[in-house]
Amino acid sequence: MNRRMKSNGALTGRMLLRAVGDSFRKLAPSTQWKNPVMFVVYIAAILTLVFYFSALKGASDTDPDFILAISLLLWFTVLFADFAEAIAEGRGKAQADSLRRAKRNILAHKLDRPDFEARSVDVDSERLILGDFVLVLAGEQVPADGDVVVGAASVDESAITGESAPVIREAGGDRSAVTGGTTVLSDRLVVRVSSMPGDSFLDRMIAMVEGASRQKTPNEIALQILLVALTIIFLVVCATLLPYSVFAVAQLGRGAWVSVTSLVALLVCLAPTTIGALLSSIGIAGMSRLNQANVLAMSGRAIEAAGDVDVLLLDKTGTITLGNRQATAFLPLDGVEERELADVAQLSSLADETPEGRSIVVLAKEEFNIRARTLGQSSIVFVPFTAQTRMSGVDIDGRRIRKGASEAVRRFVEEQGGAMDAQCQRIVESIARSGGTPLVVARDAEILGVIHLKDIVKHGVKERFEDLRKMGIKTIMITGDNPMTAAAIAAESGVDDFLAEATPESKLAMIREYQRKGHLVAMTGDGTNDAPALAQADVAVAMNTGTQAAKEAGNMVDLDSNPTKLIDIVRIGKQLLMTRGALTTFSIANDVSKYFAIIPPLFLGIYPALGALNVMGLHSPQSAILSAVIYNALIIVALIPLALKGVKYREVPAAVLLKRNLLLYGVGGLIAPFLAIKAIDLLLVAFGLA
């Protein structure tokens, strides 16, 4: 599954070629201007070119060939930076192209009321507006995002999700959302359009993966400020060296002013070009990694926030436990036959399509051979489960059969004058203590017994939560179970805390409480009633299978609808920040060696004694400067893979991470360029270029 999305992970030759072309296109000043650090290099490249031409006419302080070499190297530096960005964008573009193929203008059957029988007019899908009703027949594409208001159908959503198996979309409930560009395979639907033209899910998705709507995140802006500040410092450092050298020459009465070309070279080497060139690629690549995980972020801000999240609200079902709780036993109260309990339980579950409901039907069949009945009677009314009542059942022949959480059922029987006796309490508690879920079965005011539903904790989650704890992330299990059940599963799975008998309101309240204390909260949700909590959470991942309301409220959509994804999202967010930090440190640390390379040749004419600072023993003044500039350009290309892939992330405490990264990128950044510049110098000499 997910072939389409995943296949974009690898770089293809075509993408490389396109990126090379894009690098040149990005040379337009309007594009360059957006990246202040690289803009300085851009201006420097133009300047040196001007110097070269004036040098050809004889007006120069340096050898024209040297100026040309520097100028070319600076142009390459600019191109390498453009290339880094283009290659990062390339993946998104490829993805956007295939999405665009799904977004075609088609004729939509616009209805004047939500009814299959209503009069329809064919209009261009582009012209549909919010609130229109459209009819979609089998084999047709859904013309716009919307909610199914009438009918049910199987829909092929592979254009969006990459998932080839069709899904059911039906009116009402949590599976009512359809996305423009998907195809109805069978049956027909009436859809209420929920987006304006140009603002559909597909439109936004294309914009996001293309990076077109990519806005700089606060953290990126803060880093940009630091980089610009450094650039300003170095600009002034280099600019002031000219008057300093003028002064020195005047004082000594000998020597020559520093060459402006060398100063420009020094400036480019000192400016944090490495991180400046890769900064936007890192951001785009982070988004792209998220896309590869089949998660669609509605803003870059959300990914960054994901790195900061320190409270994860995880739905128990599917994330912590295997999706399905299984009924394992019928425990009747005194005076009730086990078979009778099984019979009533089965009856109450016939219309219950949840895995639990089905497992009750299965257990009843296995143990007592009670088969599914055809319920032809007209007096049967199914009562579906709601988050408020927390019960489901049937009303049959005037008798009300219910099963549900013990508190809910107790309220139900007490309303009718019944009561929950001590024995029932005991059974409920003992099941709950064992981590199971007790489902109390009642018929009118009488409680018949308890169904034991067992939860199975997923393999490996405990270790996962342990890792998260080390990272300082608190995991909170959200469950509709009663507190005791929840506690048992919480203990078994190793989460830090749990919210039992969760309702949309209590979830929202919990998120607010954590936020009030300064935490950043992430959660997943799919239902319409999750929407308020999703809107409140800092990182809110809506399941693609979820309702339109949930998707609107979230800031990410998980196309796989996999609740464990949250943990991957956090990892990607952290990796994004770490990559920025590591390359910034590396870039700054590099400057030390560049000083040692460039300062001695710069002042050779004034203070030959400063040659003592040429600790690398570089061949000649020109080769020293060239080597530093070449290193400065090449390091950008060398680090593109790291920028795209992100630095290695491990789930360890902050101090350990910091120590490791400081050693690798800080100390490494101090030492590596000494070796590299020396090596480049040796090569230049070997090839007779210097």
Partner 1 sequence: MTNLILQSVLFVVLVVLLAWPLGRYLWKVMEGRKTWTSGIFVPVERLVHRLARIDPEEEMDWKQYLAAVGIFSAVCFLAVFALQLLQNLLPLNPQGMSGLSWHLALNTAVSFVTNTNWQSYSGETTMSYLTQMLGLAVQNFVSAAVGLAVLFALIRGFTRASMKTIGNFWQDLVRGIVHILLPLSFVLAILLVSQGVVQNFGDYQQVSVLQPFVSNGTTIASQTLPMGPAASQIAIKQLGTNGGGFFGVNSAHPFENPTPFSNLLEMLSILLLPFACCFAFGYAVRQKRQGLALLAAMLVIFVACLAFALYFEQSAGNMEGKETRFGIVDSSLWAVTTTAASNGSVNAMHDSFTPLGGLVLLVLMQLGEVVGGGVGSGLYGMIAFALMAVFIAGLMVGRTPEYLGKKIEPWEMRMAVLVILGPTLTVLLGTALAAVYPGTSAALANTGAHGFSEILYAFSSAANNNGSAFAGLNANSVFYDVALAVSMLVGRFVPIAATLGIAGSLAGKKLVPVSAGTLSTNNLLFVGLLIFVVLILGALSFFPALALGPVAEQLSRIR
Q: For the CB of residue 635, give the shortest distance to partner 1 in the complex, in Å.
A: 17
Closest to partner 1 by CB, 56 or 229: 229
CB of 242 to partner 1, least distance (A): 8
What single-letter DSSP state applies at residue 213?
T
**For residues 521 and 337, what is the distance between their CA atoms, to the nearest angstrom?**
48
Q: Minimum distance from CB of 594 to partner 1 (Å)?
A: 10
Name which of 60 and 593 has its Cβ closer to partner 1: 593
Looking at beta carbons only, is 45 or 578 nearer to partner 1? 578
Integer CA distances (angstroms), 257 to 161, 262, 377, 414, 596, in order: 64, 11, 104, 97, 19
Residue 113 DSSP symbol: S
Question: Which tokens in the block code for residue 612?
Answer: 């003592």
C-alpha 151/C-alpha 156 separation (Å) is: 16
- Report in angstroms how near the CB of residue 664 gets to partner 1 at its nearest: 10
Q: Which of 132, 147, 315, 538 does the annotation list as catalytic?
A: 315
**Residue 678 beta carbon to partner 1: minimum distance, rounded to whole angstroms:** 19
Place of tokens 């359809």: 178
Contact criterion met (CB below 8 Å) for 291 and 568: no
123: three-class secondary structure by DSSP:
strand
User: Alpha helices of 517-667 — where are they, by DSSP H?
Assistant: 531-536, 548-553, 565-602, 621-645, 654-661
Nearest distance, CB of residue 461 and partner 1, angstroms? 19
Q: In angstroms, rounded to a whole number, what is the distance separating the alpha carbons of residues 626 and 637?
A: 17
Question: Which residues are within 8 A (CB) of 23 and not within 5 positions of it... i.e. 6 or more apart?
Answer: 79, 80, 82, 83, 86
Helix (H, G, I), strand (E, B) or coil at 298: coil
Residue 573 · residue 307 · CB < 8 Å: yes
Please say which residue, 75 or 649, places its beta carbon nearer to partner 1: 649
| E strands, 374-526, in order | 381-383, 391-396, 399-404, 437-443, 446-454, 474-478, 497-499, 521-525
Task: Write down the least CB distance from residue 646 to partner 1, Å.
Answer: 10
Question: Which secondary-structure segment (H or E) carries 278?
Answer: helix 273-292
Nearer to partner 1, 485 or 579 (CB): 579
315 is annotated as an active-site residue: yes
Q: Which is nearer to partner 1, 198 or 472 (CB)?
A: 472
2, 341, 387 from 349: Cα distances, Å: 34, 12, 17
Our CB check for partner 1 shows the closer of 102 and 260 to be: 260
Q: At 684, is the secondary structure helix, strand, or coil?
A: helix
- The catalytic site residues sit at 315
